[in-house]
Amino acid sequence: MNDRTIFRVMDKETTDTIHPDERKSAYLLPRRIVWKQGKISNEEVLLKERESQISLAAWDDCVMDSTDGQASLLLDFGYEIHGGIRILAWKDSTDRGARVRIRFGESVMEAMSEPGGEGNATNDHARRDIRTEIGMMSMNRIGETGFRFVRIDLEEENASLSLKSIAAVLVYKDAPYLGSFSCSDPLLNRIWDVGAYTVHLNMQEYIWDGIKRDRLVWVGDMHPETLTIRTVFGADASVARSLEFIRKETPLPGWMNGMASYTMWYAIIVHDWFMYTGDLEWLRSQEEYLEGISRQLSECIDEKGKDTVTEGRFLDWPSSDRPDVVDAGVQAIHLLAADSLRKLFMALGKQGPAEECARDMERLACFPADADGSKQAAALLVLAGLRDAEEMNGSVLAEGGAEGMSTFMGYYILTARAMAGDYEGCLACIRDYWGGMLELGATTFWEDFDVKWMEGAAPIDRFPKEGETDVHGTYGDYCYKGYRHSLCHGWASGVTPWLTENVLGVRIMEPGCTKLEIKPHLGNLSWAKGTFPTPFGVVHISHKKKKDGSIESKIKAPAGVTVIS
């Protein structure tokens, strides 16, 4: 530690154990008071900017009084955030700390919920339902979870609590937005931004699955997040740190997160991250492990070319009840992983392992796999080269528009449709699917979503009216039923890199972004522009559709990046 920091008074034995938190904190005021109950006065003061320091004398305070029953407030902070709240309290009538209950919610109805019941409200992992005490002249932080709404109940009977302010504490990584996207459709612009913001909240020191619930490094879920991170933030250290973490946590012959398909995704992520960074030294540090998983996966192919992994045959949750669909999807993921490993070994100069991977690819390609009407399986089969893009788009992928989409698999479904040249169909699907979440009040994208949920549903930022459906508490399945459903899930952000890759037309052709292909596909858009970060600097891109339908492009790339179009 530097001897000029706060740690200078400590001995070396102590400072050697210190791990500085690279994240920052910021305070947000409530945007509105959604609901109140009981005896509360001057609550509007909580919406006003005030000095964030408690003092001796109370003035212009909000008073919660429970002499005539419980007093409660429900606050809306405007956007989903990661963090907690800080309450500045002048005094409580007990002189020992008044008992309060604080409930965080990603929706109005979650913040109003009791544990269990039909809505399946939980307090798992990151605690969202907390009982504590608030005393005089206090200003303490409470909670750390994902939320937009906070309900505060004064549970102390016959008591009063004098409040100066209640602020949300946003805990975040201060990473600059190097990538950008805008076009002639404001809805698409908003969708790109929300996808970026969703991942940013989950991009803490490691890449989390979701900020409300288990916060684990689920390596399979990371692939869409990794694509979003490189598109928006560039080579953020959280990616390599998360990959290192999951590798160390999974000694061979174990499968990452207990799922063979997630080990396959690990190989795909390592390849894509190397293509972006071009960091050969980092890749060499993964070499031994990559060879190990390559041999392990090779042993899981039978004489007919079928993938035979038994532990963790997972595609995505909506497909988990359809074994044939899972088989087809995992077959495709295995082939994609073998191809990724082949390319990595070629970059490492490991000819023998690369040839073994090529043989595995040939074996896997011999086994017939059927999507059985599943958009997820169909998309992966197309990406793996096992099915024709136009055929799958016509018979499965474009069928029903946004119906049957998957938040996790959205990027792959859109990419397969783009391979069939159906760009306008993709843009329509994006508007309906990700735009549908926004229409329901989302400020981040969800763990799962079905456009059918929109029928008769109330937005998440207000109470349902009579006859309306509580979309958060009613829907969801498997591990995300009701209020346990995460409304900020990084794997749902794949639309953000898709727009950059397809509308702006950016493709990485050589490791380290030394060569980029930029071929725009505007569909029914009249213009699009944006930036793409590379290890050499930011590429500036602008496309405009001319009267004859041709596209005029202006591209400015930093030295070290060759652009082909």
Q: Tens of pLDDT along 140-199?
A: 999 999 999 999 999 999 999 999 999 999 999 999 999 999 999 999 999 999 999 999
Q: What is the C-alpha separation between 559 and 529, in angstroms, rounded? A: 20
Q: What is the C-alpha separation between 12 and 7, in angstroms, rounded? A: 9
Q: Do the bridges between strand 506-508 and strand 469-470 make them parallel or antiparallel, or are there none, so unpaired?
A: unpaired
Q: Is residue 239 pLDDT above 70, yes or no?
A: yes
Structure tokens at 490: 């990084």
Q: Is residue 236 pLDDT above 80, yes or no?
A: yes
Q: What is the C-alpha separation between 544 and 103, in angstroms, rounded? A: 49
What is the rounded average pLDDT of the residues 195-209?
Answer: 96
Q: For residue 174, how many other CB atoms are within 10 A of its CB?
A: 8
Torsion region of 401: left, alpha or beta (phi above 0 gives left; psi -120 to 50 gives alpha): left
Per-residue pLDDT, 104:
98
Q: What is the C-alpha separation between 337 and 266, in angstroms, rounded? A: 8
Nearest to 493 by CA among 270, 201, 242: 201
Per-residue pLDDT, 194:
98
Question: CA–CA distance from 122 to each of 74, 116, 155, 213 (Å)?
Answer: 19, 6, 20, 9
Q: What is the C-alpha separation between 265 and 267, in angstroms, rounded? A: 5
Q: Is residue 47 pLDDT above 80, yes or no?
A: yes
3-state secondary structure (DSSP) of residue 306: coil
Residue 312 contacts residue 255 (beta carbons within 8 Å): yes
Residue 129 contacts residue 178 (beta carbons within 8 Å): no
Instruction: Give percent of the chain with pLDDT exceeding 90.
Output: 92
Per-residue pLDDT, 125:
87
Q: What is the C-alpha separation between 52 and 168, in angstroms, rounded? A: 12
Residue 486 contacts residue 213 (beta carbons within 8 Å): yes
Q: Is residue 40 pLDDT above 60, yes or no?
A: yes
Q: Please, what is the Cα angle at 379 between 551 and 335, to 5 degrees?
A: 115
Q: For residue 301, how many other CB atoms are within 10 A of its CB?
A: 22
3-state secondary structure (DSSP) of residue 61: coil
Per-residue pLDDT, 315:
87
- pLDDT band at residue 562 using 50, 70 and 90 as cut-offs: very high
Nearest to 236 by CA among 275, 276, 284: 276
Report the predicted TM-score, pTM, of the whole model to 2 decimal places: 0.96
Structure tokens at 239: 């990616």
Residue 71 contacts residue 29 (beta carbons within 8 Å): no
How does the average pLDDT of the chain come out, rounded? Answer: 96
Residue 84 contacts residue 169 (beta carbons within 8 Å): yes
Per-residue pLDDT, 312:
84
- Order across the sheet with 537-545: list the strands: 180-183, 527-534, 537-545, 551-556
**Considering only 11-20, 384-393, 425-434, which range has the smallest mean pLDDT?**
11-20
Nearest to 204 by CA among 263, 145, 262: 145
3-state secondary structure (DSSP) of residue 329: helix
Per-residue pLDDT, 3:
65
Residue 239 contacts residue 207 (beta carbons within 8 Å): yes
Q: How many helices (H) and strands (E) would you count in the chain?
A: 16, 18
Structure tokens at 185: 């459709």
Q: Where does 384-482 show beta strands of DSSP type E?
A: 457-458, 469-470
Rg (CA), the chain: 26
Q: Which residues pair with 98 in a beta bridge?
A: 134
Q: What is the C-alpha separation between 45 and 127, in angstroms, rounded? A: 28
Residue 211 contacts residue 146 (beta carbons within 8 Å): yes
Nearest to 212 by CA among 79, 115, 117, 123: 123
3-state secondary structure (DSSP) of residue 414: helix
- pLDDT band at residue 215 using 50, 70 and 90 as cut-offs: confident
- pLDDT band at residue 319 using 50, 70 and 90 as cut-offs: confident
Nearest to 64 by CA among 108, 99, 95, 29: 99
- pLDDT band at residue 95 using 50, 70 and 90 as cut-offs: confident
Which amino acid belongs to residue 450? D
Give 508's contacts (C-beta < 8 A, 6+ positions apart): 275, 276, 515, 516
Per-residue pLDDT, 316:
87
Q: Where does 106-204 show beta strands of DSSP type E?
A: 129-134, 138-154, 160-172, 180-183
**Considering only 48-62, 184-198, 485-499, 515-529, which range has the smallest mean pLDDT?**
48-62
Please name the residue that has the structure tokens 């069928």. Answer: 399
